[in-house]
Amino acid sequence: MTVLVTGSRGRVGSTLLGLLNAAGIEARAASKSPGDLSPPPGVEAVRCDLGDPETFDTALAGVDSVFLYAEAAHIDAFADRARAAGVEHVVLLSSSSVLAPDAATNPIAASHLAVERALEKAAADGSFEATHLQPGAFATNALGWSHAIRSTGVVDLPYPGSHADPIHERDVAEAAFAVLTEPRLRGSSYLLTGPESLDFTEQLAVLAKVTGRAIEARAVSPEDWKASVAPYIPAACADALLSYWARHDGKPVPTTRTVEELTGRPGRTFADWAGDHADAFRAA
């Protein structure tokens, strides 16, 4: 089996490459800038820009399975080229946001949903199988607080009591490895969460314990937060995040045991993640 891993610069993709390589499974690291990759020894790096269909055929040649990031721009072309190349299985890194009632119009969910639907349509004739991984909140979202924690120890939050289900990126990679290597798991959608629902103040308390420093959650207005992130978060996405946080303010979110069911091991806690990434939050 040969697996093409798109988005190999990402935390999930790079971890998955290591898992496949350690298991003796041939993997191909794909990126629009393959020269920037550092794959495991013996793993080929290829150019596959999901925004450029002209890169698809070479990347897909001889590939049996694909780990795919949810880029919707040319998903129909990608599915067509995968079918032509003889790909048997596509595992999509989707999002739990596709399960929301407003997913088709939500700027965060819409691209993931479009890719899911395109793959399902392409797979309808049985030429390949499509499996959707739908993780909730990535624990790595907390890295967005790292500068504030290192510099002032104060994090501005519009909804400090909003809950999330933070999942370790390694758990997502291990779930992907499971569905890529176990045929009986193919063709389904899997909702992945961390093992616990934590609000933002609880997550900051975990980071404070791990780093040994005081961290304050400072409540700010949604308007002030949106203005502060305007240089790097589009207004529509900021509004979607604010709406999500408002809906989950003070309300724990449901969690699943899907990671354990797929991998045979309980999901890692946010404290586990914080311990793995503690240096990102410590002052230099």
Domains of the chain, CATH where assigned: 2-135 (3.40.50.720), 139-165+195-254+269-281 (3.90.25.10)
- Model confidence at 26: pLDDT above 70: yes
Round to whole Å and give the CA distance between 104 and 86: 30
To the nearest whole percent, how much of the chain has pLDDT over 70?
Answer: 100
Please report the pLDDT score of residue 284 as a whole number.
64
Round to whole Å and give the CA distance between 200 and 107: 23
Q: DSSP states of 218-267 as a string?
A: EE--HHHHHHHHTTTS-HHHHHHHHHHHHHTBT-PPP---HHHHHHSSPP
HSE at residue 153, side-chain half, CA atoms within 13 A, is: 10
Q: Where are the beta strands (DSSP E) in the chain?
A: 2-5, 26-31, 44-47, 65-69, 89-93, 129-135, 154-157, 163-164, 189-192, 198-199, 216-219
Task: Compute the mean pLDDT over every residue in the chain, rounded to the nearest whole number.
Answer: 96
Read off the pLDDT band of 283 (50, 70, 90). confident
Its pTM stands at 0.96
Q: CA torsion angle for 159, 138, 241, 67 (degrees, to 10)?
A: -170
Average pLDDT for residues 75-97, to the nearest whole number?
97
Q: What is the DSSP letter of 36?
A: G
Q: Is 164 helix (H, G, I), strand (E, B) or coil?
A: strand
Of 16, 66, 20, the C-alpha closest to 186 is 66
* 261: region left, alpha or beta (phi > 0 left; psi from -120 to 50 alpha): alpha
Burial (CB count <10 Å: 0-12, 13-18, 19+), residue 67: buried
Average pLDDT for residues 255-274, to the nearest whole number?
98
